[in-house]
């Protein structure tokens, strides 16, 4: 079984990237729309990787 903490960290970094992307798009951190969209894309990708990794690493039930 792989370490689940890696997938939790990926999800946490994804959420942070989404927040930073939204802040760039709205202009709070500056007017850098390309950085904003890149942050959104990376955030979504990290969240997907984290969720899929957690689902794939679940131990399978032993058949009796």
Find all residues with CB under 8 Å of 56, minimum gap 6, and list them.
none
pLDDT score recorded for residue 64: 62
pLDDT score recorded for residue 62: 64
**Residue 61 scores a pLDDT above 70:** no
For 19-56, the pLDDT digits (tens) are 999 999 998 988 888 999 999 999 999 999 999 998 88
pLDDT score recorded for residue 4: 84
Backbone φ, ψ for residue 13 (5° rounding): -65, -35
Place of tokens 């399978």: 60
CA distances from 43 to 2, 23, 47, 56 (A): 22, 13, 6, 20
pTM assigned to the model: 0.82
């Amino acid at each position: 079984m792989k370490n689940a903490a890696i997938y939790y960290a990926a999800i946490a970094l994804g959420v942070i990237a989404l927040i930073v992307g939204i802040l760039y798009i709205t202009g709070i951190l500056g007017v850098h729309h390309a950085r904003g969209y890149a942050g959104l894309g990376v955030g979504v990708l990290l969240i997907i990787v984290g969720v899929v990794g957690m689902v794939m690493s679940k131990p399978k039930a032993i058949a009796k």
